[in-house]
Amino acid sequence: MKEKQQNILIIGAGLCGSLLALRLGQRGYHVSVYEMRPDLRKVDISAGRSINLALSDRGIKAMKLVGIEDKVRSLCIPMHGRMIHDKKGHTHLSNYSGREDEYINSISRGQLNALLLTEAEKHKNVSVYFNKKCKSVDFEKTTALFQDYNTKDQFIEDADIIIATDGAGSVLRKSYFLGKKFLFSFSQDYLTHGYKELSILPKENGDFKTYKNALHIWPRGTFMLIALPNLDGSFTVTLFLSYDEGEYHFNNLTTEDTVLEFFQKEFPDALALMPNLIDDFFENPTSPLGTVKCSPWHYKGNTLLMGDAAHAIVPFYGQGMNASFEDVVIFDNILDQKLESWEATFAAYEKTRKKDTDAIADLAIDNFYEMKSHTANPMFQEKRKLEMLLEEHFPDDYASKYALVTFNENLGYREAMLKGRAQDKAILNLLVDGNISTKSILNGDDSIDMTKEDLKTILEKIKQETEAILEEDKIAGLH
Amino acid sequence: MKEKQQNILIIGAGLCGSLLALRLGQRGYHVSVYEMRPDLRKVDISAGRSINLALSDRGIKAMKLVGIEDKVRSLCIPMHGRMIHDKKGHTHLSNYSGREDEYINSISRGQLNALLLTEAEKHKNVSVYFNKKCKSVDFEKTTALFQDYNTKDQFIEDADIIIATDGAGSVLRKSYFLGKKFLFSFSQDYLTHGYKELSILPKENGDFKTYKNALHIWPRGTFMLIALPNLDGSFTVTLFLSYDEGEYHFNNLTTEDTVLEFFQKEFPDALALMPNLIDDFFENPTSPLGTVKCSPWHYKGNTLLMGDAAHAIVPFYGQGMNASFEDVVIFDNILDQKLESWEATFAAYEKTRKKDTDAIADLAIDNFYEMKSHTANPMFQEKRKLEMLLEEHFPDDYASKYALVTFNENLGYREAMLKGRAQDKAILNLLVDGNISTKSILNGDDSIDMTKEDLKTILEKIKQETEAILEEDKIAGLH
């Protein structure tokens, strides 16, 4: 495969497509990227998606790969933990890790996307075309049909390979599905909850109205509100709520009075920071939350799905962008193997990668329940406190499921899921059975009179129980 | 809801549609059924699907509901267990249950369908129209567009409600998916294996060429052959094989020599009974194996999916037809509740039923691995022998996962799955850890020198371990 002479067509210049173009440009390929929206560096557009995102270690590993870690860090606001708000407005901070250097970062989707595009275009062999909407892909001929947004002209582009990074509504994926040329496994699963973006604006002096370095959560069992900080002093707030169940739901929040009543009752401290609530609420759309999985991702050596186009996930683990960035890292690893053909390359990539994107999709659903409900559950809180202590005192010996997923970028999502779930099960069962006691942790004032020796014993019990659970599952799961 | 005056339109007169028409006819509704194929009682057609099927207790419960159990029994050939064939042609029978009255039945799809149609048409308020293909459903207007196969004329039918029992390729389901009027969760998942139907013809005197009262299996780890008896002395044989992996696969079985070589090597005893193999192999299609799940099944009180249209599953638990028949039983139960509207009826039906059809879909995938591989695995065989002993000696105290699913028609599939999986895990782990010993069972000659007292102790250990597993899962699975 004479890779340097290959023409690669990328559909979609979002976060994944821009990074992929940059990396393939660095590798010397001739890359053309077609994006349906205008250039977000010139026109003030919403990318149609969430305004800010959580960048963590898997994403940062990708930034390191393309050499822009420092530039990206300058766009980040570290979030060290979850700031939990109860109904009375009381708060407590639950760290993401007991290790100081483990935190996640709030970053603007637009700013990061702009940076990636600019870096990609520095390569002469990379061209990005905006306002060109992909209408369909002929995966047998390796051509794509586009329409220019301004002139309405349609044109066909030919390439050696086409990689679609065109997001959850991928045109290539639709062509696979409707084409019926091969057995295409596909799923779209919606939660019964939707989401709506709101905002906490900065103070008049530009300061943040509430604590900056945390991901704020107002967990209410069957629904929740969250907030992530932006560099301009604002917070992007998101309400996750059922469409049609419970006392308040999106379908019955139709008047100003009802919305105010709902926030007054459930999120009074947030409401106090949101004089703009009503405008936001009725101007912004309510959007669905869905998971997309499919297989195969590629058709022969012609076309390949990557990023959300291949595996759209719900946002509750803050891993959507990170997973898409990691796709590029894994694909880059496969390219290093210099396999004999694009077909072999695509097949090896999917074989390596799909088990992990399936896992993060399932983990993200798990975290939906954890965030909206378990964060307010005393036993869950006890478990988290214990895990923080273990991570603090035995930083090399213990990592929670959250840490395995978020901060262990060299461990695949699937391994992280299997180990993390077994660990969670071990801790919860040990706590319930009274086999480990953490009473001293729960003095109310969070004072710790547990000795390191006590903790060491607890850690050993957790490890043994985790191993036993994994072994029993292995024996039972003969396949 | 004045149910007796309602006009109900059923799309599809297959097994589920015919039974539904019969039951709704018995309840007094005005029922019209439209079927795209000709009347299978007048024209010799393949229904396009497997020739014979396994009818078991859930299906029989439905036959009792409509009062035709005796007529159906006369079409059945009991199969008491799996006759396992190894590569040398050695066989051993592994019973489905340790209780004598628990067995499954081979039945002809065509004969059963014909009986159901005839019974349905005995009701003046039931009409069945053949050669009418449904082209689309307008679920807002509760109308369906049909085309007459002979005249090609198209016509629209209006009804109070439309129930689609039009199988895995359901037109109503496609209308839900493509309509995008509401959030429609949908999945189609294909196995990497396909299947092909073959046959063992009767002896010249009409006798069966091999043992009649069993489901024959030739398990080979990554593929398998099975055979079910027919009333005419033949067996319908099905080969389950990968499309493109392994030494032999469907994509490379392209010449007579290769097919003969494959059967000679893997299934010599079956080949000896199949002089017609080559004709069958090259005349019959290779078909895919897929699972379909979706939600919601209904649109308001207008339309409802039922049977394979709502939940197509792979055939490895022999439960596809039984699950579709059980749908009618559950729907009938909901009708007995006399809810205030069709919308409430459909919603209650889906809420009650979907968890169970999701479970049987997953169980059927489990059994794919069990049949093609585990049935040839010594530890699995040890477990099965132990379970047979327990069922024989403690018939009221123990039921294997297979028995829970197949013979416990008053237990939902989901409960059967949860309990059955926990039990399997318990037994396998107890065996591996040496906590129960069944050495005496494995004397090679299957002689049992274990006392009932020993067995009782083993049963208690299995029960305790099963309870512990379920409890631990409950604690860990906070949602």
pLDDT at residue B273 above 60?
yes
Nearest to residue A55, comparing CAs of A438, A406, A424, A461? A406
Judged by CB atoms closer than 8 Å, whether chains meet at B185 and A185 is answered as no
Q: Which tens digits make up the pLDDT trace of B110-158?
A: 999 999 999 999 999 999 999 999 999 999 999 999 999 999 999 999 9
User: If you ran DSSP here, which 8-state letter would residue B201 be given?
Assistant: P
Residue span of the structural domain in which A237 resides: 189-288
Domain assignment of residue B98, yes or no: no
User: pLDDT value at position B48?
Assistant: 44
Examine the domain organization and report whether B166 and B296 are in the same domain.
yes
More confidently predicted of B445 and A355: A355
Give the alpha-carbon dihedral of A342, A347, A348, A350, to 10 degrees.
120
Q: How many separate helices (H) and strands (E) can be counted in chain B?
A: 14, 19
**CB-CB under 8 Å, B369 with A478:** yes
Question: So what's the pLDDT on residue A295?
Answer: 98
Is the pLDDT score of A3 beyond 70? no
Nearest CB partner across the interface for A476, out of B187, B190, B425: B425
Strand partners, B378: none
Minimum distance, in Å, between the CA of residue B421 and any CA atom of chain A: 9
Kindly report the nearest CA distance between residue B187 and chain A, in angstroms.
4
Q: Are residues A44 and A15 in the same domain?
A: yes
Any domain includes A262: yes
Residue B33, SS3 per DSSP: strand
Q: Which of A367, A297, A309 is nearest to A96 (CA)?
A: A367
The one-character DSSP state at A240 is E
Question: For the segment B285-307, what is each residue's pLDDT rounded down to a tens digit?
Answer: 999 999 999 999 999 999 999 99
Task: Enumerate the residues of chain A whose CB falls inside 8 A of the CB of residue B189.
Answer: 185, 187
| B51 and B133 fall within a common domain | yes
What mean pLDDT comes out for the span B304-315? 97
pLDDT tens-digit readout, B420-464: 999 999 999 999 888 887 765 544 445 556 788 889 999 999 999
pLDDT of res. B479:
41
Q: What local confidence, expressed as pLDDT, does residue B450 receive? A: 72
Instruction: Count each helix (H run) and each strand (E run) in chain A, helices first.
Output: 14, 19
pLDDT at residue B87 is higher than 50 = yes
Split at pLDDT 50, 70, 90, the class of B18 is very high
Does A202 sit behind a cis peptide bond, omega within 30 degrees of 0 on the bond before it? no
Is residue A114 within 8 Å of A40, Cβ to Cβ? yes
- Do A279 and A308 belong to one domain? no
A92 in a structural domain = no
Residue of A nearest to B290 (CA): A185
Residue A114 — very low, low, confident or very high, per pLDDT cuts 50/70/90? very high
**How many angstroms away from the CA of A149 is the closest CA of chain B?**
24
Give the β-pairing of B154-158 and A286-295.
unpaired
pLDDT value at A269 more than 80: yes
Query: What is residue B452's predicted lDDT score, i.e. its pLDDT?
Result: 80
Residue A441 has pLDDT above 60, yes or no: no
Same domain, yes or no: A224 and A319: no
A228 and A126 share one domain: no
- Please answer yes or no on whether A479 and B187 come within 8 Å at the CB atom: no
For chains A and B, CB pairs below 8 A equal 74
Percent of chain B with pLDDT over 70: 95
pLDDT of res. B451: 80
CB contact under 8 A, B183 and A288: yes
Q: What is the pLDDT of residue A46?
A: 62
Residue B76 belongs to some domain of the structure: no
The contacts of residue B436 (CB under 8 Å, 6+ apart) are: B386, B427, B430, B458, B461, B462
First to last CA, chain A: 36
Q: Which residues contact A273 (CB under 8 A, 6 or more apart)?
A: A200, A209, A210
Q: Pick the range with the lowest mean pLDDT from A183-197, B224-238, B367-381, B435-449.
A: B435-449
B contacts of A186 (beta carbons < 8 Å): 186-188
Task: Please answer yes or no on whether A183 and B369 come within 8 Å at the CB atom.
Answer: no
Q: Considering only CB atoms, which chain B residues are within 8 Å of A429?
A: 472, 475-476
A contacts of B293 (beta carbons < 8 Å): 187
Percent of residues, chain B, with pLDDT higher than 90: 84
Residue A87 inside a domain? The answer is: no
CA distance A306 to B193: 25
Chain A residue at shortest CA distance from B425: A476
Instruction: Provide the pLDDT for residue B47.
Output: 45
Per-residue pLDDT, averaged over B169-193, amounts to 95
Does the residue B75 lie in any domain? Answer: no
- Is A423 a domain residue? yes
Q: Which residues of chain A lie closer than 8 angstroms to B184, CB-CB?
A: 188, 190
Q: Are strands B185-200 and A185-200 parallel, antiparallel or unpaired?
A: antiparallel
What is residue A67's predicted lDDT score, i.e. its pLDDT? 98
Q: Which region among A146-150, A435-439, B71-75, B325-329 has the lowest average model confidence (pLDDT)?
A: A435-439
DSSP string, B426-479: HHHHHHHTTSS--GGGGSSS------HHHHHHHHHHHHHHHHHHHHHHHHH---
Q: How far apart are CA B437 and CA B461, in angstroms?
A: 11
Kindly report the backbone phi and psi dihedral angles of residue B316, in degrees, each rounded to the nearest multiple of 5, phi listed first: -75, -10
**How far, in Å, CA of B169 to CA of B179, rounded?**
16
| Residue that terminates a domain, selected from A288, A310, A343 | A288
The alpha carbon of residue A296 is apart from the nearest alpha carbon of chain B, in Å, by: 11
Residues A343-350 have a mean pLDDT of: 98
**Which residue, B369, B389, B415, sits at the end of a domain?**
B369
Identify whether residues A274 and A199 lie together within a single domain: yes
Tens digit of each residue's pLDDT (9 = 90 or more) over B334-388:
999 999 999 999 999 999 999 999 999 999 998 888 777 776 678 888 898 899 8
| Mean pLDDT, residues A364-382 | 81
Average pLDDT, chain B: 93
Identify whether residues A179 and A270 lie together within a single domain. no
Task: Quickly state the pLDDT bin for A369 (edges 50, 70, 90).
Answer: confident
Q: What is the mean pLDDT of chain A?
A: 93
| The domain boundary residue, chosen from A343, A369, A395 | A369
For residue A341, give the 3-state DSSP assignment: coil
Average pLDDT over residues A4-16: 91
The pLDDT assigned to A48 comes to 44
* Backbone angles phi and psi of A85, in degrees to 5: -110, 125
Could you say which of B187, B432, B475 has the minimum Cβ distance to residue A429? B475
| Confidence bin at A297 (pLDDT 50/70/90) | very high
Bond prior to B202 in cis (omega within 30° of 0): no
Any idea what DSSP says for residue A131?
S
Three-state SS at B73: helix
A48 plus A122 within the same structural domain: yes
Give tens-digit pLDDT for B46-64.
Answer: 644 568 899 999 999 999 9
Convert the pLDDT of each residue in A211-239 to its tens digit: 999 999 999 988 999 999 999 999 999 99
B470, part of any domain: yes
- pLDDT score of A449 more than 70: no
Could you tell me if A164 and A303 are in contact, meaning their C-beta atoms sit under 8 angstroms apart? yes
The two structure tokens encoding residue A208:
């943040």
pLDDT, greater one: B79 or A45: B79
| Alpha carbons A210 and A83: distance in angstroms, whole number | 10
Q: What's the pLDDT at A410? A: 96
- Regarding whether B335 and B392 lie in a shared domain, the answer is no
- ipTM summary value: 0.88
**B410 Cβ neighbours under 8 A, 6+ residues apart:** none
The residue that leads in pLDDT, B50 or B397, is: B397
The pair phi, psi for residue B32, each rounded to 5°, is -120, 130
Q: What CATH number does the domain containing B12 carry?
A: 3.50.50.60
Inter-residue contact B133 to B435 (CB < 8 Å): no
Distance from CA of B75 to the nearest CA of A (A): 36
The residue in chain A having the minimum alpha-carbon distance to the alpha carbon of residue B291 is: A185
pLDDT in tens, B98-107: 888 999 999 9
A179 & A204 share domain: no
For the cut 50, the answer to whether the pLDDT of residue A134 exceeds it is yes
B389: left (phi over 0), alpha (psi -120 to 50) or beta: alpha
Taking contacts as CB-CB distances below 8 angstroms, the residues of chain A near B468 are none
Residue of A nearest to B468 (CA): A429
Average pLDDT rounded to a whole number, residues B192-221: 95
pLDDT in the model for residue A479:
41
Contact B476 A429 (CB under 8 A): yes
Do B448 and B364 fall within a single domain? Answer: no
**What per-residue confidence (pLDDT) applies to B46?**
62
Domain tally for chain A? 3
Count CA atoms closer than 13 A to A5's CA, side-chain side: 2
Supply A469's token pair.
């659970």
